[in-house]
Structures are given as structure tokens and as C-alpha cells.
Structure 1
């Protein structure tokens, strides 16, 4: 059972006790992602995530790494478009120590000027690495096309230009605005003790930062095209369509739709493009659901001379399912796949911690697993068919062609 405790400063602690497990996963979730950045700040959320690992007043970056290696635990973080998460997974008897280290990083990171300069170079290398991976780059370009005038379309890593402008003062100013108690959730799952919850409240339950008005704008999906050439072995194609938010009543119907289109090995696109025609090794679709909107994206990679054929087959398959709808068998199989994914998540403390933290941060509600399974079971071919109108409009398209094939 998921329990929520609200501290005096407004910070929420979400816990799910699993006594028969021997591990604990704990995450510090902050509702600050790349969508919260101004154009000049693009990438600063991700940069802050890096800097919190670069040492505190009492621990160096090496000390933080060694402490977790010494106890056989993992510590890491990730930045998304809507939130940032700092997390650890450890054996239950090391949980209090892990929470203490996370709190030290959260409150006492030095943001040393020398470390800022070093980490700036690290992130520049990370940006270059992404640009060197065309299957990632083509989808990064797709987001720029879909949301050209909104921060949802900006890269999470930022750019070389914005990265160079980050100073200790700019970092602190952003954290003062967003790293506030009302914006923070601590999620913990596994073999939890009352002492651990009391320690979390002691460490996180009294800090205060000025709550400021958040700059909120609704992202508007925009069809369009992006085209690049690069020295790659093959061409890459990505198409984007509007999706649904995580709060939409049809979110499970849309998830089933995505599975049928390209979200599994038995999907329409995988079977037709890879298995039947051998047009691509990698082809898939995915649905990204956010608090107020969503996006369905399709990706495929193939040789330059087959790029037009790949795009044509994708469009043809979308038109085919739009015209005739999914079969009852496809819907049933997709529902079973979705149920399996939900139930397999029960076997991981990390998955439960992430689910609970995200639910509390973005939804402020925690449906039970029985409720989720009931909603999946309620998915019908008729409702899935009604959502196919998403493919009626023009898509956003991003293409990277290989210079090597053109030479």
C-alpha cells in the first residue's frame, strides 16, 4: 500500500513498504525539467543534476562514489522534460546512510567554480555524443519541429552556447525558484522502517525556499519538416503526431493503440517493415505522455535508397489501420502485454519507487494495481478505433540522410 506523508514545509514523502524484499529504493523527485527553462537557460536543469554529484562541504565527488561502492549500492540521476530525479538503490540496512548522502548532495553541493568548468566540458562531450548517434539526433530534431516555439522542443542537454553561459549564480537562481518543498517529493519503496521515514522527514522536512510563480505555457503541436545530412552508414526517419496526456481518460486505450502500431515485435510496423519487407532492422513507435499533452513518435532507419520506401510503407500502414481499425485479436494481445508490463514492475523496488514518485509529483494520486488492471481490461476495439483520428493531420517529420551513400 502506498502511504503519503506531508511534512510541515509542504514536502511529500511517498512510501510503499514491501517487507519481504531486502532492498530499498529511494528517489528525490523535483518538478523541474527542461520545459521549465527559458531559452537562455536551456540545459541548466540537466547541468544541475550533474553538479549535485560534484561534491559537498564534507564529501568530494570521489567520496560520494566510494561510499556507495563500499555498501554495494547504486546512486544515479536523470533529467526529463518535466522533472529531475536523484535516486539510490541499496540493501535495507544501508538505507539510512543512502538517504543521508542524498540529502547532503541536495542541500550542500558546493557548486565549485572549478568543478563547474570541468563539468561543462563533460556535458559538451555528452552533447557531441548525442549528435554522433543519428538515431538519437533524428528524434531530437523531431522535437524541435513539433514544438518550435516552446521549451518542450528544446534539447534536455542544452546547447554549446547556453552551456557556456551557466555560472554559479545562475544555477543558484534556478534552484531557488524550482528546488522548493512544494516542488519536491521523496519516494521510497522496499523494506522500510519507521526510523527511515523519520530520518527523511528530519533531513528534508524543514527546509524552505521562496516559492515563486512558475512560467507555464501550453505546448502546441506543429507539423513540419527537418532535414540533415551526416556521414552515417544509413538514413534515419522519425514522424511525430499529437498524443494524450497522462491524465487523459483514454490514456490506456492510446497505449494499446501505440503497441499495435509499433510498440512491440508483433506490431503492424515491425511485422510489415522488418519481417515482411526487410526494409529496416530497427523500426518502432513510442508514446510520450506528459502532464498536459502527449506525443506519438515513429522511428525507422535504413539505407538512403530505401528511405522513400520506408516512409511510404509507414504512411500506408497508418492509413490502413485508420481505415479499418485494429482487430479484436490485436487489442486483446496488446492488453495482455500491457498487463504483463504492469505486473512485472511489481518485482522491482526501483520501478515502484519511480512509479510512486512520478504519480505523486505529476498526478497527486495513486491508483492501485487492481484499478490499473481494470482500466486496461476496459480498453475496447471501439475506443482504440476512435483515437485513430490522430493520424488524420499532417505529421512532423525529421530526416537524416547519409552523406556516405550520396558520395
Structure 2
């Protein structure tokens, strides 16, 4: 498969296309660098609320007519705000692309942001915030991020009750005008399309879009420490956060493969040692993550209060023992697992458009699946073990949530 085709419009919008002649459908993702990381301190949750408000009518259509127009094209849409950016995606048949592109151009450039819908947007934001109490694992991991980052990367996507209640229609509109812009944003398309056709459509519908999306601040961390959240629950949630290498680093895929050894299935070390051998946790795993310029590994375990201390000890020990290296069999299984993930993502136009948009945002370039697979296969046993020996996963930030503190 050829590398994706890329162009940058004069207004700074990045456009990337991966034609998939075998695919009867297509997907596109619009990534705008508007996230909780650039929410003002007194407007936490603004990016999240804006994403909801934008759908309340755009261009010549009110909210109902806009939804009807998308449904008439058979568009399956998805959107959401995160730490660093907000994405708007669509999956549809190729013949509907011109009309769908026009609709999304209205959504981002000509939203109504009607005052009459503002209170419903606020109510949804408050409900989402309140729902965290019913999702203790998510609540813990959100708080873990806040404990780790001294920079605004730790700001909650959902905001706070005070900031949401203090928001006004005018203050939120100000955030839209200040933060939504073409320069720095990304349009990624994958599926049964021609690259030139996409570039022409992008120019037609987004070429006059002005503005500059905000940049992310540099990452700053606190010192590793432990914290405890008290909540009357039947289980205890455990979260650990480790520094890791960022995307684009020479050892990035060595780190990804190490994470697969830890948590890549029923034969992985955490599942085997924590759950199968000792029966300590009903759920356990580890996953890599990143923000621009910084990578990390997060581990999670859910267990009973009387087993929490032992679960935490064993999880830390299993991760610590990675410094001793992995076996040939473990590396081979990890490569198979990671390549399978790549293959499945390659079959999904939505997954590919999302991945390409993120690659352009994080790395400044879009990579083809063959390039990524080659980097994975280039990791030898000697190389991964040398990396793990020199970069041990130690000294994590550690958080627990439950009826009593884990000691």
C-alpha cells in the first residue's frame, strides 16, 4: 500500500488522503487542536461543551435539518473532545462525499451556537461530570492524570461543576472564535476515493476557513507520588502511571511491544501473574499513551479491598521485572498481536482516517501501514532488551480509589 498523499492548503489546513480502491465506503476525520489542554482555567470543560453545541445547527440548517441532511447521505457520525484536540468524523458511501464535506464545513465554520440550546448543552455537561461517580475506574484515571501533570495536560476534559455553571453563551462563543481555526487542523480521508478529488473538495469547502488553532503547552510533570480517593465502593481501583518514550522516538515500537508483553492477551504477564495464578484482580492491564512530545504507560487493576495491597505489590513487581528482558516467544507473540491490530485498523476506513489525523498532529506526517509494520518488525530481541535494561519502568505515580487507603 502506498504512503498517504498529503497537501497543506494556503490557510494551513493539513489534508491527508489514503485511497483504498478495494473499499466500497470511506471515512473522514476533521481534527481541530481544541482540547482541555487549552481550556482557560476559569472555563474548564469549554472544549467539551463546544463540541456538543456545534451540532445545534450550522449554515442554512437548524439542528433538526442538519441531522436530516446527514441521515439522507447515510452518514455515520462520531465526535468528541479530548485532552489535546476535538475530532469530527463521518463514514459514508463515496458518492456522498461532496455533500458531506459541505455539511462539515458549515459545522466548523458557520455554526449557529444558538442561545436557546445552551442550557441543554450545560445540562448534558453536568450529567457527564456526575456520571464519574458511577464509573470509579474512569474517575480514578482522570484524577491520576491531574496528579501527574503540572502543565494543563492534567485539566479534566469534563470540566468542573463550578466552571460549567459559570459558563455563559457569550463566554463559550468567545472560545469558539478564539480557538477554532484552519491553521494546525487536519482533514484525513481514507477509503474508495481519489486523492485529487479530495484535495479539490477540501480547497472548495475549507480553503476560505481562517484562524489558527491553539498550540499545546510544553509538558511539565509533578514528582512521582501516591494519592488516595475515598469512595464507598465494593471494589478498589488501582492506577499507575510511568514515563515512557514518545511517538517518533527510535524506541517507540520497542516500548509498544513491551506493553503487549505486559498486557497483550491471556498469555500476557499481568493477566497471567495477577489474575490467573493468584486470582487477585477481576480486571488488570496496561496500555501506552501519549500527548505531543511525551509518552507514558498506564497500568490499572480492579480488586477487592482485602486484596488491594497484594494486587498493587504484584502489579508493580511484574512491571519492574521487565528490566530483566523478554523472551523470544514473548516478543514473537507481541509482534503478531501488534501486527494484527495494524491489519484490523487498515481494514477500517474510520480507524485509518483517525490514525492519520493523529499522526499528522503528533508527528507532523502521515505514515502508511507498511511503514509502521516495518518499524515493528525492525525491533529485535537484543534491541528491546537493551531498551528495557536502560529504561526500566520504575517510580510510578500511584493512585487508589475505594473505601479505605491501600497501604
TM surpasses 0.5: yes
Conserved 8 A contact 2:108-2:180: no
Determine the structure 2 residue equivalent to 1:220.
Answer: 221
State which drifts further: 298-307 or 127-136.
127-136
Q: Is 1:3 aligned with 2:5?
A: yes
* SS, match of residue 249 in structure 1: coil
Change (3 A) 1:360 1:123: same
* SS, match of residue 156 in structure 1: coil
Determine the structure 2 residue equivalent to 1:139.
Answer: 141
Counterparts of 2:108 and 2:233, CA distance in 1 = 41
Determine the structure 2 residue equivalent to 1:188.
Answer: 189
Determine the structure 2 residue equivalent to 1:122.
Answer: 124
Per-residue deviation, 1:215: 6.4
Conserved 8 A contact 1:262-1:298: no
Q: How does 1:29-48 map to 2 (within 5 A)?
A: 29-48=31-50
* SS, match of residue 182 in structure 1: coil
Counterparts of 2:277 and 2:369, CA distance in 1 = 37
Conserved 8 A contact 1:33-1:80: yes
TM-score normalised by structure 1 residue count: 0.92
Counterparts of 1:83 and 1:121, CA distance in 2 = 22
Conserved 8 A contact 2:33-2:86: yes
Determine the structure 2 residue equivalent to 1:243.
Answer: 244
Change (3 A) 1:191 1:212: closer
Per-residue deviation, 1:389: 5.2
Determine the structure 2 residue equivalent to 1:200.
Answer: 202
Counterparts of 2:269 and 2:284, CA distance in 1 = 10
Counterparts of 2:335 and 2:309, CA distance in 1 = 33
Counterparts of 2:202 and 2:59, CA distance in 1 = 20
Determine the structure 2 residue equivalent to 1:328.
Answer: 328
Counterparts of 1:213 and 1:78, CA distance in 2 = 17
State which drifts further: 158-167 or 381-390.
381-390
TM-score normalised by structure 2 residue count: 0.92
Q: Extract unaligned runs of 5+ from structure 2.
A: none
Per-residue deviation, 1:213: 7.3
Per-residue deviation, 1:379: 1.1
Per-residue deviation, 1:320: 2.8
Q: How does 1:88-167 map to 2 (within 5 A)?
A: 88-147=90-149, 149-167=150-168
Conserved 8 A contact 2:13-2:186: yes
Task: Count residues in correspondence.
Answer: 402
Per-residue deviation, 1:6: 2.1
Conserved 8 A contact 2:34-2:86: yes
Counterparts of 1:64 and 1:47, CA distance in 2 = 19
* SS, match of residue 28 in structure 1: strand
Per-residue deviation, 1:285: 0.3
Change (3 A) 1:137 1:58: same
Counterparts of 1:93 and 1:81, CA distance in 2 = 34
* SS, match of residue 371 in structure 1: helix
Counterparts of 1:222 and 1:183, CA distance in 2 = 32
State which drifts further: 81-90 or 40-49.
40-49
State which drifts further: 173-182 or 393-402.
173-182
Determine the structure 1 residue equivalent to 2:401.
Answer: 400
Counterparts of 2:184 and 2:309, CA distance in 1 = 46
State which drifts further: 32-41 or 254-263.
32-41
Q: Is 1:265 aligned with 2:280?
A: no
Change (3 A) 1:91 1:315: same
Conserved 8 A contact 1:54-1:115: yes
RMSD over aligned Cα, in angstroms? 2.2
Counterparts of 2:315 and 2:261, CA distance in 1 = 13
Change (3 A) 1:60 1:334: same
1:17 to 7, 16, 19: 19
